[in-house]
């Protein structure tokens, strides 16, 4: 039997049409068994995956430029992750940390406290998903400040639970028909340089003025922001925007939360994207890349805030599951061993070179943006309006030709790239060649 993991040959190889016959059959089974409410980007079923390739059940291998939405940053089924998972599963699978604690939970918290920005005393707590981490960060901020209002931003994404849906900006598909949403959430303008052409300071001033006038600074418990917006379309705010917002938070006793669920763990060429502008957030939410594919999320913050919650106010049956913690320790180890921060920066350059060259041929590529191995292109019509049609065509072409790419953006007109940070230059360039062929075929 073919195994996944690093031994899987790192190549793109299609031996059937996409989807192949076995995947077509599975798609029919899926339709009868799985809720239609669960979406799907590719119509192929996975058999194995390793490093930066995925093998489907028909024997086709795809170049993975999505990492399961920024999760398998150390490569799929990375060696340390698999070894740690196996070892832990044979020791025990679960105790519930709130019933009988275990060392690996503490070790992951120590790592989070050490790696997140700032040298101050910190504490962490672990959960299962990004949305759950965000929920808990808001709980901590409200308990600490004894205030209720929470500020989020245009184009922001924070999850699909009731509170996090309220924090998320986009209606379709995340919120549509699912209300009523949690109260006391306020949405502020976001710096979006490609569209607003304004400096970070100017947009921040507008947002701050609105917060003061429409909510009242002393009513705000927390401001939550993704340092680079993920689902919103890899929007990198203009320099100065985030520092001004963080400064406003500090001056008014507001908890500044950086949602680093998509940007964290070397993805942007730093442990955390907050570092690019020297931000030291009060609280940070993490998930995705943290545990190499196992469900684990964390919140990390100042000891003062994190310890302000009453005993047993935070928790959950599975939060910080021992196998997920073992995976996280393996994943972080891979990042340190292979210096994936440096590799993410190299990948950014390869992306910039390839995409800039593509842009010179295809003016529909209006913007190239991102940091590290979190890069995107925003596609436009000749009049500058969003071109989501072309995004569908190019991404479908990529899928049918063995490259997994993901889309994003409030207007659905962004193709985003999130390869494993371990991807080879050759495989990445091959993936980008297919993207370019997609543009050619679509025009």
Which positions touch ligand PLZ (CB under 6 A)? 69, 129-131, 134, 157-160, 226, 230-231, 259, 261-262, 287
Q: Name which of 75 and 130 has its Cβ closer to ligand PLZ.
A: 130
Laid out side by side, the sheet with 122-127 consists of: 122-127, 297-302, 283-286, 255-259, 220-225, 149-153, 185-188
- CB of 163 vs ligand PLZ, minimal distance in Å: 11
Q: Name which of 128 and 422 has its Cβ closer to ligand PLZ.
A: 128
Q: Name which of 231 and 367 has its Cβ closer to ligand PLZ.
A: 231
Structure token digits, residue 172 = 């379709």
Q: Which residues pair with 371 in a beta bridge?
A: 374
Q: Name which of 20 and 117 has its Cβ closer to ligand PLZ.
A: 117
Laid out side by side, the sheet with 53-56 consists of: 46-50, 53-56, 61-64, 403-404
Label residues 119-148 b or e (16+ Cβ within 10 Å = b).
Answer: eeebbbbbbbbbbbbbbbbbbbbbbbbebe
- CB of 439 vs ligand PLZ, minimal distance in Å: 25
Q: Name which of 76 and 129 has its Cβ closer to ligand PLZ.
A: 129
Laid out side by side, the sheet with 414-417 consists of: 365-371, 374-379, 414-417, 406-408
Left (φ > 0), alpha (ψ -120 to 50) or beta: where does 183 sit? Answer: beta
- CB of 295 vs ligand PLZ, minimal distance in Å: 7
- CB of 230 vs ligand PLZ, minimal distance in Å: 4
Closest residue to ligand PLZ: CB criterion: 130
Query: Are residues 314 and 278 in contact, defined by beta-carbon separation less than 8 angstroms?
Result: no
H helix intervals, 92-169? 103-115, 130-145, 162-167
Q: Name which of 64 and 259 has its Cβ closer to ligand PLZ.
A: 259
Question: Which of 329, 328, 300 has its CA nearest to residue 121?
Answer: 300
- CB of 279 vs ligand PLZ, minimal distance in Å: 15
Q: Name which of 55 and 405 has its Cβ closer to ligand PLZ.
A: 405
For 41, 261, 406, the CA distances from 159, given in Å and listed in that order, are: 18, 10, 17
- CB of 174 vs ligand PLZ, minimal distance in Å: 7
Can you give the length of the chain in residues? 443
- CB of 36 vs ligand PLZ, minimal distance in Å: 15
């Amino acid at each position: 039997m073919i195994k996944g993991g690093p031994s899987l040959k790192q190549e793109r190889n299609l031996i059937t049409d996409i989807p192949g016959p076995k995947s077509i059959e599975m798609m029919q089974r899926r339709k009868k068994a799985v809720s239609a409410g669960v979406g799907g980007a590719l119509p192929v079923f996975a058999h194995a995956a390793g490093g930066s390739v995925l093998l489907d059940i028909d024997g086709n291998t795809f170049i993975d430029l999505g990492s399961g939405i920024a999760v398998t940053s150390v490569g799929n089924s990375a060696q340390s992750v698999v070894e740690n998972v196996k070892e832990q599963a044979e020791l025990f699978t679960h105790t519930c940390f709130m019933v009988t604690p275990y060392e690996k939970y503490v070790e992951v918290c120590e790592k989070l406290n050490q790696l997140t920005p700032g040298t101050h005393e910190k504490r962490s707590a672990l959960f299962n998903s990004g949305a759950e981490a965000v929920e808990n960060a808001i709980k901590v901020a409200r308990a600490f400040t004894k205030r209720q209002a929470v500020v989020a931003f245009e184009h922001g994404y924070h999850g699909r639970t009731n509170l996090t849906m309220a924090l998320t900006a986009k209606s379709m598909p995340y919120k549509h028909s699912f209300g009523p949403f949690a109260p006391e959430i306020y949405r502020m303008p976001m710096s979006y340089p490609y569209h607003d052409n304004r400096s970070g300071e100017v947009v921040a001033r507008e947002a701050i003025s609105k917060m003061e006038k429409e909510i009242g600074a002393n009513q705000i418990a927390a401001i939550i922001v993704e340092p680079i917006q993920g689902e919103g379309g890899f929007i990198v705010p203009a320099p100065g925007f985030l520092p001004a917002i963080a400064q406003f938070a500090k001056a008014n006793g507001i908890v500044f939360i950086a949602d680093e669920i998509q940007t964290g763990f070397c993805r942007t060429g730093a442990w955390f994207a907050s570092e690019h502008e020297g931000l030291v957030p009060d609280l940070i939410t993490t998930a995705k890349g943290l545990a190499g594919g196992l469900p684990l999320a964390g919140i990390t913050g100042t000891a003062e805030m994190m310890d302000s919650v009453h005993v047993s106010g935070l928790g959950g049956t599975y939060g910080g599951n021992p196998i997920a913690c073992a995976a996280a320790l393996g994943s972080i180890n891979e990042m340190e061993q292979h210096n994936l921060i440096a590799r993410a920066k190299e990948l950014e350059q390869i992306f910039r070179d390839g995409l800039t060259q593509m842009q010179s041929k295809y003016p529909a590529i209006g913007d190239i943006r991102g940091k590290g191995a979190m890069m995107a292109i925003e596609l436009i019509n000749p009049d500058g309006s969003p071109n989501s049609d072309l995004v569908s065509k190019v991404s479908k072409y990529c899928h049918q030709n063995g490259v997994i790419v993901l889309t994003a953006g409030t207007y659905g007109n962004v193709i985003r790239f999130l390869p494993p940070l371990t991807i080879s230059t050759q495989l990445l360039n091959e993936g980008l060649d297919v993207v370019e062929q997609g543009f050619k075929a679509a025009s």
